[in-house]
């Protein structure tokens, strides 16, 4: 009898091992090689056999069994995940001309006129991830985070069937490295996304906005069982840390090796001879994009030769050997059902198109800004028009154009309001402005906007004081201006709908904490016209105290590099208005705000940048435009918004726009980002 039991146990162990091996193998054939060798029904049958056998013998279940991808315990919070080598982002090319310029820069740095071999890969619209393997076994996984530190989602990643727990070791293939970090993109296919939203709707849950949000939200679940229930997939596209025998000379060879190790690689990846073939591949995808089973937003073009990649190097945020050539925004047809008006905190009245809801790039769009009366006239937008809508930069909904051929004659021409829709006051348009403005300083829409701005993160940073809360406070006459925030008490809030004792206490504590604020933040919070965070920093560092700024003349303000006549006039006008000075006195006096002055004013600089007038246009990858402006201002330059004959330099990043054209027309010297970074770091 004992011999019989031992034989049965050996049979069970053998069958368990064989089923697990077969399921892992077919997972990798399906996900990594896109070459399934059995049908879905056959796969399901194998999986069911394993499940049944493990139910009969639960003592034989192992942690690495395919059935255990749903069996992890929830974690309370995500730990930090440190990338051994930075997981950088990519510089964007918004059109083909910028891709050609990228190729020119590459060949210039490599000192060659020969065609460069590139690898073109689909830019998946998902969530960046890094998986770490040691001796072929998965030991950890993390999100991108800031490129250096992300969130440890190792447990959740183990629930994704496409992410192998063990790399395949094939006879005659390269040996498994001691350590390997692979980079990829977690995503959800379109059909799976639709099914997921149908399931959520049937349960009364809110649908996800788009597949990317669904993928990101699924991977960052506290409970891995929730992640396991979501149809997540992954494609791998690059390598971070590699500790082993160095055998790769090209990026394409790495992708081919990934497949042999069982790591899924997008089968659409293409080896291209020269930038022309890469652009041709991109243009083909423009036509095929909507027929792909997943969302993409462009093509990533990478230099294939690894030694060339090393020569090209990296910027602070992106490699110089790769670029993302982005698609033009999706344009979708809909109708303008109405045009309404939004009143901002400075009284500017912005027309807004109310649209027949339409899905644009995975997001339902119901409204689109129309900017101002001139823009509406230029595009001839009328109520009832059929229009094409896109999301500028895949973010902000805009009306791209009117389909005039579909007009019926029933469309209604636009007319700008003469009275403010929020308060009924007179609306004016000044000669030098493109917009209309409400002249009533007590307009409730302006008051609401001013309070929301005052409490915003870059200003006083009062947590819990957003649009809805401020609107409720104003509607119920709890507050009338920003100074009233510092008079709020528990009895104002605890009986208010939506406020419990804890949330009320949190808000009051955040308001109290905001009383200690640095000068630049306080200046920005006041909402002075033309004073953003950058100008507020300049004022604080140049004048050293609030009193010095309040008493400065227009001429004295203009002596600060980076502040022109228009900005100086606005600052002086603000502090000459009795209502404004009363508010500032009230805040810093009776209400106890403690304004912390900078340690010392910045000295005047000398060197290459000193005295130069600089304009920035387009987006920079090494730093934000605000950071770049601060860097040159600290070196004595004056940063302005418009190009003129007095401009000394224009710094052009990605998608520079009309400022670059004007600079070339006027003969103003133009720096690309690499030249700018070289000069700004050298002149120290």
- Cα–Cα distances in angstroms (integers) from residue 326 to residues 6, 94, 162, 233, 296, in the given order: 62, 5, 27, 22, 9
CATH classification number, 518-596, choose in 3.40.1190.20, 2.40.110.10, 3.10.50.40, 1.10.150.20: 1.10.150.20
- Cα–Cα distances in angstroms (integers) from residue 207 to residues 38, 189, 341, 359, 666, in the given order: 34, 15, 29, 13, 52
Q: What is the mean pLDDT of residues 147-157?
A: 87
Using H for helix, E for strand and C for coil, what is the string for 358-417?
Answer: EEECCEEEEEEECCCHHHHHHHCCCECCEEEEEEECCCEEEEEEECHHHCCCCCECCCCC
**How many Cβ atoms sit within 10 Å of the Cβ of residue 310?**
10
State yes or no: pLDDT of 239 exceeds 50. Answer: yes
Residues involved in catalysis: 123
pLDDT on residue 28 = 66
Which is the CATH superfamily of the domain at 613-682?
BRCT domain (3.40.50.10190)
The CATH architecture of the domain made up of 444-514 is Orthogonal Bundle (1.10)
Q: Say how far apart CA 588 and CA 486 lie, in whole Å.
A: 11
Tell which wins on pLDDT, 4 or 472.
472
Which region among 381-385, 407-411, 641-645, 646-650 has the lowest average model confidence (pLDDT)?
A: 641-645
| Torsion, CA 157, CA 158, CA 159, CA 163, rounded to 10 | 80
- Cα–Cα distances in angstroms (integers) from residue 395 to residues 75, 238, 325, 365, 386, in the given order: 33, 27, 17, 10, 21
pLDDT on residue 395 = 54
pLDDT tens sequence across 17-27: 888 888 877 77
pLDDT on residue 519 = 93
**How many Cβ atoms sit within 10 Å of the Cβ of residue 627?**
11
| CA-wise closest residue to 351 among 366, 341, 364 | 341
Which is the CATH superfamily of the domain at 2-70?
Helix hairpin bin (1.10.287.610)
Do the domains 92-326 and 613-682 sit in the same CATH topology, yes or no?
A: no
Using H for helix, E for strand and C for coil, what is the string for 161-172?
Answer: CCCCCECCCCCC
| CA-wise closest residue to 271 among 254, 246, 247 | 254
pLDDT on residue 9 = 60
Burial class (CB in 10 A: 0-12, 13-18, 19+), 200: middle
**How many Cβ atoms sit within 10 Å of the Cβ of residue 157?**
25
- ∠ CA 666-534-482 to the nearest 5 degrees? 135
Which region among 96-105, 262-271, 576-585, 624-633 has the lowest average model confidence (pLDDT)?
A: 624-633
User: Where residue 655 falls among pLDDT bands split at 50, 70, 90?
Assistant: low
Q: What is the mean pLDDT of residues 68-95?
A: 72
> What are the domain boundaries of the chain?
2-70, 92-326, 332-428, 444-514, 518-596, 613-682
Q: Say how far apart CA 307 and CA 85 lie, in whole Å.
A: 17
**How many Cβ atoms sit within 10 Å of the Cβ of residue 601?**
15
Residue with tokens 């279940």: 61
- Topology (CATH level 3) of domain 92-326: D-amino Acid Aminotransferase; Chain A, domain 1 (3.30.470)
pLDDT on residue 362 = 63
pLDDT on residue 77 = 60
With a CB cutoff of 8 Å and minimum separation 6, the contacts of 271 are 117, 118, 119, 252, 304
Specify the 3-state DSSP secondary structure of 323.
strand
On whether the pTM is more than 0.85, the answer is no
Q: What is the mean pLDDT of residues 546-566?
A: 87
pLDDT tens sequence across 208-229: 777 887 888 888 777 778 788 8
Specify the 3-state DSSP secondary structure of 594.
strand
Mean residue pLDDT across the chain: 84
pLDDT on residue 31 = 52
Name the token pair of 618. 């387009």
Burial class (CB in 10 A: 0-12, 13-18, 19+), 91: buried
pLDDT on residue 172 = 60
Q: Using DSSP bridges, classify how beta strands 396-402 and 386-392 pair: parallel, antiparallel or unpaired.
A: antiparallel
Q: What is the largest CA-CA distance in the chain?
A: 104
332-428 maps to which CATH number? Answer: 2.40.50.140
Q: What is the mean pLDDT of residues 361-377?
A: 85
Q: Say how far apart CA 515 and CA 588 lie, in whole Å.
A: 9
Q: Say how far apart CA 203 and CA 209 lie, in whole Å.
A: 17
pLDDT on residue 242 = 92
pLDDT on residue 583 = 94
């Amino acid at each position: 009898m004992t011999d019989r039991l031992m034989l049965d146990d050996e049979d069970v162990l053998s069958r368990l091992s064989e089923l697990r091996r077969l399921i892992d193998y077919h997972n990798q054939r399906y996900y990594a090689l896109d070459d399934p060798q059995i049908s879905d029904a056959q796969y399901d049958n194998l999986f069911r056999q394993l499940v049944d056998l493990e139910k009969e013998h639960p003592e034989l279940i192992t942690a690495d069994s395919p059935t255990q991808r749903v069996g992890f315990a929830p974690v309370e919070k995500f730990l930090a995940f440190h990338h051994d080598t930075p997981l950088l982002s990519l510089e964007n090319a918004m059109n083909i001309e910028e891709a050609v310029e990228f190729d020119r820069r590459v060949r210039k740095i490599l000192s060659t006129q020969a065609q460069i071999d590139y690898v073109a890969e689909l830019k998946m619209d998902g969530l960046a991830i890094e998986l770490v393997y040691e001796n072929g076994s998965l030991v950890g996984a993390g999100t991108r985070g800031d490129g250096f530190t992300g969130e440890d989602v190792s447990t959740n990643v183990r629930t994704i069937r496409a992410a192998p727990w063990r790399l395949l070791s094939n006879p005659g293939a390269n040996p498994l490295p001691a350590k390997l970090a692979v980079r990829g993109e977690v995503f959800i296919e379109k059909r799976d996304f639709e099914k997921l939203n149908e399931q959520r709707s049937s349960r009364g849950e809110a649908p996800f906005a788009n597949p990317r949000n669904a993928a990101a939200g699924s991977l960052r679940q506290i409970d891995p069982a929730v992640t396991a229930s979501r149809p997540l997939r992954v494609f791998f596209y690059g390598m971070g840390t590699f500790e082993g025998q160095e055998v790769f000379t090209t990026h394409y060879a790495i992708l081919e090796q990934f497949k042999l190790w069982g790591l899924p690689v997008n089968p659409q990846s293409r080896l291209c001879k020269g930038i022309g073939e890469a652009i041709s591949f991109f243009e083909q995808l423009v036509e095929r994009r909507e027929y792909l089973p997943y969302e993409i937003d462009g093509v990533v073009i990478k230099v294939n030769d690894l030694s060339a990649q090393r020569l090209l190097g990296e910027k602070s945020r992106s490699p110089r050997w790769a670029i993302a050539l982005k698609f033009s925004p999706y344009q979708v047809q809909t109708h303008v059902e109405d045009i309404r008006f939004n009143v901002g905190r400075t009284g500017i009245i912005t027309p807004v198109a109310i649209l027949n809801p339409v899905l644009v790039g995975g997001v339902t769009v119901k409204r689109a800004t129309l900017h101002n009366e001139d823009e509406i006239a230029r595009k001839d937008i009328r109520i009832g028009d059929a229009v094409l809508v896109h999301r500028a930069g895949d973010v902000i909904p805009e009306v791209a154009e009117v389909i005039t051929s579909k007009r019926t004659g029933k469309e209604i021409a636009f007319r700008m309001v003469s009275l403010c829709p929020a308060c009924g006051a007179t609306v004016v348009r000044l000669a030098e402005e493109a917009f209309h403005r409400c002249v009533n300083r007590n307009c409730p829409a302006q008051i609401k906007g001013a309070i929301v701005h005052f409490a915003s993160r870059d200003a006083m940073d009062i947590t819990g004081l957003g649009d809805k809360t401020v609107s409720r406070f104003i509607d119920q006459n709890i507050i009338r201006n920003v100074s009233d925030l510092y008079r709020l008490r528990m009895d104002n809030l605890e009986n208010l709908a939506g406020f419990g004792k804890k949330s009320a206490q949190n808000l009051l504590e955040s308001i109290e904490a905001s009383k200690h604020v640095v000068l630049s933040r306080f200046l920005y919070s006041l909402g002075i016209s033309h004073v953003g965070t950058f100008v507020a920093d300049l004022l604080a560092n140049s004048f050293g105290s609030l009193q010095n700024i309040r008493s400065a003349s227009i001429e004295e303000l203009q002596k600060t590099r980076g502040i022109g006549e228009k900005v100086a006039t606005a600052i002086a006008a603000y502090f000459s208005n009795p209502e404004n000075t009363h508010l500032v006195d009230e805040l810093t006096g009776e209400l106890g705000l403690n304004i912390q002055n900078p340690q010392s004013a910045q000295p005047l600089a000398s060197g290459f940048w000193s005295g130069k007038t600089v304009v920035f246009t387009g987006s920079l990858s090494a730093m934000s435009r605000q950071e770049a402006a601060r860097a040159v201002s600290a070196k004595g330059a004056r940063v302005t918004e418009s190009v003129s004959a007095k401009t000394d330099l224009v710094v052009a990043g990605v998608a520079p726009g009309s400022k670059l054209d004007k600079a070339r027309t006027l003969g103003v010297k133009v720096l690309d980002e690499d030249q700018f970074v070289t000069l700004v770091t050298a002149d120290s």
